[in-house]
Structure 1
């Protein structure tokens, strides 16, 4: 009797489903009986279709079937772009773009692609990448709708570096890549050759491809005209949606144009709000939601392995029920086990759970320590290699002085030093990481820098900073004590500077900085001395690339220490510049470097010029409320040309500094801030002039002190000069003079001192 009821139930369900499907098929849509639904071997699902007499596509979803090729090929409505795959489930189509090629004799090339008029296609920023293969080329990716640059990259070539990059992902050597920053329906690629005289002029190829099709650099690709290794490189993915209405809510109001025609379908908005919608079959159904009756019930019981059913399976519209062997299905499609089986099952489950828990506990006690040790060892080894530990170890071992001065710290020591990186120990957030205060086991107070992000670029900058600081020994450059490589995020350990940054002391409320003119002049001399040492006196030239007041630290005696070398670049002695991606801080960035991508020593000179203006004015380099759309450098040049420099100088500076000193400092700042790098002085020339300015001030202070001690009565003098002298010399003049004299070195003494300190 129970079996008969089940049979009647299943028969009624099948008949109801058939009636529903029949009713659904009665809904009519404008489809021809002879619709062309394929092109060659490729099936074309609705809403797509081919253009022609028997087109059955929705507006904008039309393809062109090229019957002149063998086999026939499917093209977009533009008749050029080949369609490889159409996916209703992912709402994408795969297309093949042609490879744009600039020959070795050409200096520029522009190519573009535009979605056919009314077509619903857009280039996805998460699934498409622009790849450029060639030497000395700059590529710009343009959104032709907004006429904005949405991506760029630069390639360069070096035989030694290209050998190392063979088979590797693009990093700028031989090839580079740029990603789409936003969805676009029309884009352009602009290729230019930026260094034809480099001695290596090759053809330059650019192609748009799927992000999954990762291009690996091959040197042989430099010498082909218009091909690259890998036949799928130029295949990209376009997203599509129903764009007649902006959302499901708007689409449902118009049943005439509503696209989700199948009863068992649902409407979903696109990820980017307002760009349309698409249709999907409901859970438990599959097929085409864009046609009546297109979403059909999935018979899960026909594929028991896929749906993991080993007992009794009963399928119903939109789902299925799987019951254990020996049980039966009731009228509500629920599993009903026999009573005896319930008792046995309860006992089995209870015993199994108890035994499993006991076994897990025993295994945990026996193997916990061994597993932890093995896991920790493997993790440290992985982080060590990930953080280029072999390279750092080799670098330190090859220099006896570095080996004594630079140490690779264990993670446990740094955790103890920072109280497990307690947020209360944070000193600040630099351009490339977070800085913690720590106390080592030998009671040294140190600053520990932890990178912000675990990406390859940050790790490379970390290695760059270690490599540079380990080779530099200068009294005005922060000292590196060592590093830690046993964490996912690499750590730097360097000397702790007590008095914060120069920016902290300059940019105070009401422009009431405690730094005197004499201190500011000394800090300027010390800072430029360190930068000049990096440019010309170190064993290898170093361009800092991020010179700013927040990277000038002040110790307990207010001695300047240049820090943060994460963005720095080393330069061979036979080169005057390097081509790099633009990097720096707004307000300090050299305009010439920003427009050409060529980093030179004059780029640091420009940034130092901004610091000189900060020392003179006390202003921040960028302030929307004070400068509007201009920065401090532009505002200062404007004030200079308008004869209003005195209005922007800090009151204390105008009181303490002599007119000749201000004229010299203002003129030097103006020279450093010139737009053309060739018109700026070198860092060494700036150092010499600032040292001369400081020597003149100290000489005047000594003479005035001697004059005051010999004369019993004050003599008349020019009121403006006399008052200025008196104000600048009050207080502990003798102590200051002695302190300044102790820091004084001639050029010859500086050179001999640098010889005595190993580099």
Structure 2
């Protein structure tokens, strides 16, 4: 295999090469038309090394065209001659087959061509940069070596459509079998000197009609992936070829084929034994065409030489005169030698004189003083630059912080808050929070979500906090960020996460919360890695605390707040497993004179209020519905949406169990084991009312909180006292009664009546 690569030529080198080519073989032309060539190629037997390299230059009135006569059978127009290859136009088909009957199998073959490319006895062979290509529909092409005894490869051309005005296509792939639409290609091995092809019909075997009567096979050079896909009109498959000597009659220009060329018929070691026939001249290297065969050889100039290795040999290159080829350092002395170059340092310099080596370094003391003086001057200039840089950096930092403050909604925050709120919410600097999180180290990450990443940090006073770094935000997300700051600034409840402050001097806004270290309620209920057993009393307490926080937001503030994204993953747990309601990014304040909030539907699938989803009108009863889903999670220990339950959500399965009076099949094992039947019935009935499809039929969060607190109080007392609570909501009222008995259990009964 040819493994050497041509040396890069400088402009001077290229000029020398052209001069040597022009002077080679005096009287022999070196050009035909636009094609330039050099020995061993030439026009006429006296100017070429071998008949295989003889170029026939046909002249017309306007131009000349070079041809190659292979085996004295066909004249092939030469497109390009390269160092190891020649490209020629090959306007002949290897095979052509047409059928008179395209709808009934077997098809009647009216013409079957079987031709070949025969390069035996020449200095050429097929390059592996060619394809054996077949175009047609439902035909198989097979390539054979000499006498059809050696199978060279094959492929099947297939047409998925029969559009008569459409186009077939052959894709450009680098290696292996390649199929397209009405076209297939198979590679040709390197060194092939004989190639024939046979086309066979497959249409009847697939029980399909032939779309077009004819198929053709030919050889064409490969295209790269950067080149356009080869296309042909399907109308070409209606053309019948009458003679193997027909010129190219298909659409588009005739194909170009690549041929490898070499000299001699032996490998280098054998050819060098006979100096009279050895083709490589002075200062050249011999390279075998193929290391495993005696298919000839090629000649190339030794490193440091240029010229024609087949004619007058190669001449030395003076690298010293070329900036590109000169390997010496700028301070070195370059001395050209035969085939090489010598680099040496002048007096007063030390080193090997090479660019890629030690170069030439001054050795005199004066250079030391020059270096010291230059160094001191450099340090002085550097100090001034550093001082200017520090001043400019502080100025840019201040401007950048002001820019971020405005972009992150600082002005909007000032508009939506009053002085009292500003005093409650500390504005942290970017440096404080970077130091608190070790420059937002990945090891400090507590969690990541759709709105950003939460880091654990420690403030200078030792307080451990959670710092929420928002993602790059758009205008809508900026409004959510400001909304969360505004809401949490004037909310003060033990079960609502506390906001310590924020930072708006960074590229994205930062929120600083109290740290709630025990994860989320979702993790506590559903994470299989958590072995902590959640008791019934703990679940009841968590539900009551969540209800109390939502009741506070809905009823205790001067302007009610709707959370709008109540879910177990937004409920945090502290070290004592006390719940903290969080993530108020899409919450809304609602004036008392408004009955609902109309907006784009936002929230989490599985917790959506169906009435809100249909009307886009969010009310306090929408939060009640989401709380009902969380309550069902606590009762069942199951996820709101489970991929194993493809048809029904948790809410649908829970309501169905309630209607069938069969709660035991859905309640969590821990709940069934520790919860009293009466309490389970009461909480399940409460969850069912919260999940009513009609918002007006649901209780308020204040009423839900009161009922859960009542259950906890009765559980703590251990004895039921006569007690009645009337809970009303629009058209319906529910009455709960506690009836005392001698035991420690309480029986709660629920009745409903229309008001």
Q: TM-score under structure 2 normalisation?
A: 0.50
Provide TM-score, normalisation by structure 1. Answer: 0.49
Over alpha carbons, which structure has the higher Rg?
Answer: 2
